[in-house]
Amino acid sequence: MSKPSKKYISIQKTIRSYDYEYYILDDPSISDHEYDELFRELKQIESEHPDWITPESPSQRVGIKPENDFDTFKHFQPMLSLANAFNEDDLNNFHDRILKNLGADKQIDYFCEPKMDGAAVSLIYEEGILVRGVTRGDGNLGEDITSNIRTIRSIPLILKESKSPFPTMIEVRGEVFISKPDFETLNLSAEKNGEKIFANPRNAAAGSLRQLDPAITSSRPLAFFAHGIGLCQGKKFIDLQEIFSVFVSWGLPVNNLNKLSSSIDECLNYFKDVESSRDSIPFEIDGVVFKVNELSLQKQLGEIARSPRWAIAHKFPAEEVHTEIEKIEFQVGRTGILTPVAKLKTVNVGGVNVSNCTLHNLDELRRLDPRVGDGAVIKRAGDVIPKMVKVIPKKNNRADAVEPPKKCPSCQSAIAHNYQSEWTIFDTSKSMPVKKFSSSYEAQKFVESNHSENLSVLEEHLDTPFIKCTGKNSCPEIFQGKFTHFVSRKAMDIDGLGQEILFTLINKKFIKDFADIYSLSEHRAELEKLERFGEKSVDNLIKSIDKSSSVELYKLVFSLGIEEVGETTARNLANIFGSIEAIQKSSFEDLIAVPDIGPRVAAKIVDHFADTENIVSLKALLPYLNIANPDISASEKDMKFLGLQIAITGKISPMSREEVKNLLMSEGAKVTSSISKKTNFLIAGENAGSKLEKAKSLGVRIIEAADIKSFINDPKKFL
Ligand code: IVH
């Protein structure tokens, strides 16, 4: 292989700097014609010396089409999402929480940015060279879309050298988007060519990034703004302001509306300024983002429920649109709850076509009193589901009020009110209520630990505004809903089992239980005989089922559809217990020690795993699965409390017990409510009682209230 000529290297460099002028500075110094001429010269040299071409050459943006699907890629540091503020109060609360968490009334600088309405991506640069581009995915696992990312002209394939040396490796986080004028042009040409029109620039950007053919992505007018970092090795930053100015020096595009504020009031002014100029900003934004500028403070604040405590999205008020109510239905969910839903004359609200609007429950139905033929005002903010704000009653011949059904609209089973139970302990000697509990377990425990013959337990049903189908698995909606949830992206993620195929397989009795999905390959011949199930489609189906059998524990837990167990709770369960068997065996007490799990949810989990049908179903399913117990990832290695078991007792301040617990958990600690030999530390607040005594007797290290902050900062000092 010959050495690339100086001329070739210099043309590459010149093109790169013209690209920078054009795509980043928006200020080209040469004409398009001169640029094209130079590019032609580059291609000419490359055709004579193909061995000189490296992936970083400006000619190499559009690569070849990958074979079938994108590979998954695990982010080195998770891509979190942002909590929202909708008004001034929310914003002030955010600031107050930060001050409280940091334990001091200090001045905080916030970095302010527009909230881009695009698709989040992570770009990995090694020694300044772009090596990978990944979608956000579920925040942990994204899709490797490197070949599509490389087609975006404003994303440098090589960073510009500057005074600031390149890190060995950095995850640059940012937003891929399409500007308003480019979006219009794109849709105009789609319309002309009889192609699908995009509902909004965000969908167009996200859809373009997931094209298998990079040539298609390349034809879409995608742009990029960097808005943060993930893992960064071989370089230390002090604050966001520094990160953004280093980004600029490396030729990475950043939003020029970004600004540093030195108070929360200044943030509010920033919000108002950006809001008033929203229409003249050439890209869609749905609010602004405020981030604590200093990285050390960010680290101290940590995260909660997949959102950093140090950042918030202040959203613009939602757009409101008027439409008409065509019908009101009751839809049966996978738990059997019947939800009233209004069917609307389709309207576009904030870039999305809306034709359904949930009315949530009977209280909301009575409050709004929507009737067929009435007008309705609908609002929708960003990714939030549409909400009915107001009903405008029809003037004449108004329809009757909607009554809840007496029978399930799907299976005709009886409808029951969904009660919530409450358990009251009575002292029979005094005929007095002593204590109330929201779970029978706690009530029972209280009685047992009090050794009194005078205590009795009374279960009371509290009404809720929900009604429920009593048909259980015999109700097709409940049954199908359970499987739709099981195969969905955030659960077992079985791509090939779309609703139509899934329901066909259920109706034809191929799928009667979760395990049946994984033994479908044994029924190949029968499947191929079904209408629209050729050899190829059965192949693809079985492949995607196979792929899903390697599953992360939290996804499996989520997919079981345990009532009240959402994604975050499933993650917490997986992190704390580490295996499905341990979760199955967990007691009520073990469960309430998990963050975000209160007595009601704990009881639901215990009930789920005590149910014979569920036991049998899970037992049959497990042999088919290869459950990943995720090894300690790069970010977890840095967790300060990983492997430590910590108990908390007594009253603590200024942080609440819940806050301390969450902070410890987010850094890898296992926080328990009881003390055993395995406990490493007890955090003992005011009036710590028997637990403190027990800890002392077991030789557990005690952290006093005054030391909590320094313990959280550096637990090693206390080891
Ligand atoms: S920062 C931990 N900055 O909003 C902080 N996000 O809900 C996470 N987004 O997935 C992201 N503009 O797609 C950040 N200036 C901005 C943003 C922004 C838009 C999106 C991003 C992210 C979502 C978070």
Ligand 1 centre distance from Cα of residue 287 (Å):
11
> Which tokens belong to 656?
């609440």
The more confident residue out of 87 and 596 is 87
Q: List, for residues 210-268, the tens digit of each pLDDT value.
A: 998 999 999 999 999 999 999 999 999 999 999 999 999 999 999 999 999 999 999 99
Which pair of tokens denotes residue 308?
A: 């950093």
**If you average pLDDT over every residue of the chain, what do you get?**
90
Label residue 632 by pLDDT band (50, 70, 90).
Answer: very low
For the segment 271-284, the average pLDDT, to the nearest whole number, is 94
For ligand 1, atom 24, name the residue with the nearest CA.
Answer: 81
pLDDT of 634 strictly over 50: no
Cα 664 to Cα 676: distance, rounded to the nearest angstrom:
18
Q: Is the CB of 229 under 6 A from ligand 1?
A: no
CA max distance for the chain: 101
The SS3 call for residue 531 is coil
Q: Establish whether residue 284 lines the binding site of ligand 1, counting it when its CB lies within 6 angstroms of any ligand atom.
A: no
Active site residue 661: no
**Strand stretches in 440-502, DSSP E:** 455-462, 467-469
- pLDDT (tens digit per residue) in 235-251: 999 999 999 999 999 99
Residue to substitute in 80, 82, 285 for testing ligand 1 pocket (most ligand atoms within 8 angstroms of CB)? 82
Give CB contacts under 8 A, 24+ apart, made by 8-16: 8/42, 8/45, 8/46, 8/49, 8/52, 11/38, 11/41, 11/42, 11/45, 12/42, 12/57, 12/58, 14/38, 15/39, 15/42, 15/58, 16/58, 16/156, 16/158, 16/160
Asked if residues 138 and 223 have their Cβ atoms less than 8 Å apart, the reply is: no
Task: Give me ligand 1 centre to Cα 308, in Å.
Answer: 11
Closest CA to 477 of 622, 334, 652, 582: 334
What pLDDT score was predicted for residue 631?
45
Q: Is the CB of 120 under 6 A from ligand 1?
A: yes
**Tokens standing for residue 193:** 């060519």
- Is 226 close to ligand 1, i.e. is its CB under 6 Å away? no
Segment 323-336 mean pLDDT: 96
Whether the CB of 82 sits within 6 Å of ligand 1: yes
Q: What is the pLDDT of residue 306?
A: 80
pLDDT at 165: 96
Asked whether the beta carbons of 645 and 672 are under 8 A apart, the reply is yes
DSSP state letter for 64: P
Do the bridges between strand 645-649 and strand 670-672 make them parallel or antiparallel, or are there none, so unpaired? parallel
Residue 255 Cα: closest atom of ligand 1: 15
Determine the residue of 112, 116, 285 to mutate for testing ligand 1's pocket, defined as the one with the most ligand atoms within 8 A of the Cβ atom. Answer: 116
State which ligand 1 atom lies nearest to the alpha carbon of 225: 15
Mean pLDDT of 630-649: 68
Query: Comparing 376 with 719, which gets the higher pLDDT?
Result: 376
* Pocket lining: 511 vs ligand 1, CB cutoff 6 Å: no
Is the pLDDT assigned to residue 636 strictly greater than 70?
Answer: no
CA–centroid distance, 412 to ligand 1, in Å, is 46
Residue 630's pLDDT is 65
Residue (of 664, 714, 663) closest to 308 by Cα position: 663
pLDDT of residue 233: 94
Condensed to tens digits (0 to 9), the pLDDT of residues 20-43 reads: 998 888 888 999 899 999 999 999
Structure tokens at 118: 């695009």
User: What band does 660 get if pLDDT is binned at 50, 70 and 90?
Assistant: confident
Cis peptide before 165 (omega within 30 of 0): no
Ligand 1 atom nearest to 80, measured from its CA: 2
More confident residue, 96 or 699: 96
Look at phi and psi of residue 509 and say left if phi exceeds 0, alpha if psi is from -120 to 50, else beta: left
Give percent above pLDDT 70 in the chain: 98
Q: Which of 425, 436, 440 is nearest to 602 (CA)?
A: 440
What is the pLDDT averaged over residues 593-622? Answer: 91
**Nearest to 311, CA basis, from 319, 301, 326:** 301
The residue contributing the CA closest to ligand 1 atom 13 is: 120
Residue 112 contacts residue 290 (beta carbons within 8 Å): yes
Index of the ligand 1 atom closest to the CA of residue 288 = 15
Chain segment 480-492, per-residue pLDDT in tens: 999 999 999 999 9
Of the pLDDT bands very low, low, confident and very high (cuts 50, 70, 90), residue 381 is low
- The β-bridge partners of 120 are 175
Query: Residue 310 in contact with residue 293, Cβ under 8 Å?
Result: no
> What's the CA-to-centroid distance between 134 and ligand 1, angstroms?
15
Q: Is 203 in the pocket of ligand 1 (CB under 6 A)?
A: no
- Relative to the CA of 308, which ligand 1 atom is closest? 2
Cβ–ligand 1 contact at 153 (below 6 Å): no
**303 CB under 6 A from ligand 1?**
no
Mean pLDDT of 588-595: 86
User: Per-residue pLDDT tens for 157-195?
Assistant: 999 999 999 999 999 999 999 999 999 999 999 889 888
> Tens digit of pLDDT for each residue in 296-316?
999 999 988 788 999 999 999
Average the pLDDT over 132-148 and give the result. 93
Cα distance between residue 521 and residue 514, in whole Å:
14
Question: What confidence category does residue 501 fall into, taking pLDDT thresholds of 50, 70 and 90?
Answer: very high
Quickly tell me which residue has 């030789």 as its tokens: 699
Residue 58 has pLDDT above 80, yes or no: yes
Q: Which residues of 503-524 are buried (b: 16+ CB within 10 A; e: fewer)?
A: bbbbeeebbeebbbbbebeeee
Ligand 1 pocket check for 487: Cβ under 6 Å: no
Question: Tokens 């049966």 sit at which residue?
Answer: 332
Residue 134 binned pLDDT confidence (cut-offs 50, 70, 90) = very high
Closest residue by Cα to residue 23 from 360, 253, 241: 253
Is-contact 285 117, C-beta < 8 A? Answer: yes
- Cα 685 to ligand 1 centroid, rounded to whole Å: 37
pLDDT for the residue 222: 97
Give the active site residue among 6, 43, 65, 115: 115
577-599: average pLDDT: 89
Q: What is the pLDDT of residue 161?
A: 93
Segment 511-527 shows an average pLDDT of: 94
Report how far ligand 1's centroid is from the alpha carbon of 83 (Å).
10
Closest CA to 662 of 715, 588, 712, 609: 712
Residue 419, pLDDT above cutoff 70: yes
Q: Is the pLDDT of residue 664 over 90?
A: no
pTM of the model: 0.61
* Residue-level pLDDT at 638: 65
- DSSP labels, 682-693: EEE-BT--HHHH
Give the separation between CA 464 and CA 436, rounded to whole angstroms: 18
| Cβ of 175 less than 6 Å from ligand 1 | yes
Q: How confident is the model at residue 708 (pLDDT cuts 50, 70, 90)?
A: confident
